[in-house]
Structures are given as structure tokens and as C-alpha cells.
Amino acid sequence: MKLICIENYAEMSVVTGKIIVDKIRTTQSLTLGFATGSTPKGVYNYLIEDHRANGTSYQQVKSVNLDEYIGLKAQDPNSYHYFMRQNLFDHLDIKQNHTHIPNGAAGDLEQECLRYEQLIKALGGVDLQLLGIGQNGHIGFNEPGTPFSSRTQIVTLARNTREANSRFFNSLEDVPTHAITMGIASILESKEILLLVSGEKKAEALLKFMNGEISEEFPASALKHHQNVTVIADRDALKYI
Ligand code: PGA
């Protein structure tokens, strides 16, 4: 595992953005794994700016997202479909039918999980996966206790995850209780993983990740089984290291 220590959120966004742009420019056809939340927003801004200034093209890029809330339609401003359109896809030349996000409003959610898992296989797997980490160590929406062997699945969100994400909703009650997420085994099949960690709120999680044992009680620890993980962390997140 490689650790890149940087100063702050802005620098993390630039360093990560450059890695992604470099991959796009040097790889014929690429499948990127995208994440949502506050962590990757700066990276997406970098990609948008770079696309405008340097013309980096996403015509050959395909993408899969980690997760989506159950019960929110794609048009819902709190859905991850909406987040991705607003924060990235609408500002690039990526083809809409090349972007994939689990459908949390599917009639048959079990079937949707199978479909998503097969889709990732059909795409040849994820070449480069962007990941954030929850304060409880979750990756995607795989909460503590999730088996490392898990595939795309329906999960119940932990209370602290719903509390952390309630900042985007009117109230805690409005935050969905369930989600579809790529499983831990699905994530670990990505050829390369960038784990972004920024801010003091993530310092304890990063400490556990770096120094703690590998345990299903701390989902991110599964990444230690992967051969090509780069952690990009800022000074505040590295506070206890
Ligand atoms: P955040 O979420 O980027 O909004 O902090 C990360 C996560 O919960 O995985």
C-alpha cells in the first residue's frame, strides 16, 4: 500500500485529479469507479476544469458508481444519480449510456444487484476505483460487519452513516434507511484503488485503517488484501499518524 501525504483538501483533489487524467490520456478504453459524498467533489471539479482547459475527452470512458439509496428516483436531488450528473457527468463529454449507477428505485432490487454485478464483469472490471471512507470505516455503503466476500447487495445503513449524511436532507428521518452498494469483494476486484481521506473527522478512521487489524468490523481494512491501493490523505486526517 502506498501513502501520499498532502497538505489539504484542495491539494488532495489536484493530486487525485491528475492521476485520473493521466490514466484517461494513456489508456484506450477505461472503466472508472466513481464515489459520491463530499470527499470526491474537489476531484470532480478538477476533472471538469481540466476538460474545459485541456480538452481531455471522456468519449471512451465508462464508469460505474459504488452505490445508491433505495427508494430515491434518479431525478431526486438527494439521489446519487442526481449528484453525479450535477457534479460531473453534465460537464464532461462522457456518453450517458456509458455511466452506470445502481438503480435504487428498481422494482426487483435483488435482480438489480445481480444485474449490476454482471454489468461490472461485462465491462471487464473497474480499472481505477475512487473510494472515500466512512467515520465507521465503511467503503461504499458496506457497514461494519459486512462479509469481505460480499457482492453488490442491499444494505441497511448504520445510524451514524444516516446521521453523517443527514446534512444533505431536511431531517434525519428523510435519509433513506437502505441502499444498494457494490460489495467488498466487488470493490476488491478493481485493478487499482485510490482511497481519499480528508479532514479531522476522518482522523480516527484513518488511524484504525493504518494501524488496526484486518477485520470485518472495519470494512476498509479489507483493502489491505489488495495489491494496488494508494491512500491520499491530508494533514488533518493524518493527525494521529
Ligand atoms: P464523505 O463520505 O465523502 O461525504 O465524507 C464518505 C463515505 O461515507 O464513504
Q: Which helix (H) or strand (E) holds 118?
A: helix 109-122
Distance CA 154, CA 235 (A): 35
- Return the residue whose CA atom lies nearest to atom 7 of ligand 1: 134
Catalytically active residues are 67, 136, 138, 143
Pocket perturbation via mutation, ligand 1, pick of 12, 133, 141 by most ligand atoms within 8 A of CB: 133
Per DSSP, the residues of 87-111 read HTGGGS---GGGEE---TT-SSHHH
The answer to whether 83 touches 101, Cβ cutoff 8 Å, is no
- pLDDT value of position 150: 98
Those residues whose C-beta lies under 8 Å from the C-beta of residue 212, and which sit 6 or more positions away, are 218, 221
What confidence tens digit (pLDDT) does each residue in 23-53 have? 999 998 999 999 999 999 999 999 999 999 9
Kindly list the averaged pLDDT for each block of 10 residues, start to end, along the chain of length 241. 98 98 96 98 98 98 98 97 98 98 98 98 98 98 98 97 96 98 98 98 98 98 98 98 94
The helix (run of H) or strand (run of E) holding residue 164 is helix 159-165
**Whole-structure pTM value:** 0.97
Q: Which atom of ligand 1 is nearest to the CA of 141?
A: 9
Q: Is the CB of 132 under 6 A from ligand 1?
A: yes
| Distance, CA of 84 to CA of 33 (rounded, Å) | 12
Residue owning grid cell 433513506: 176
pLDDT of residue 28: 87
Encode 35-48: b = buried (16+ Cβ within 10 Å), e = exposed.
bbbebbebbbbbbb
Query: What is the Å distance from ligand 1's center to 216 Cα?
Result: 19
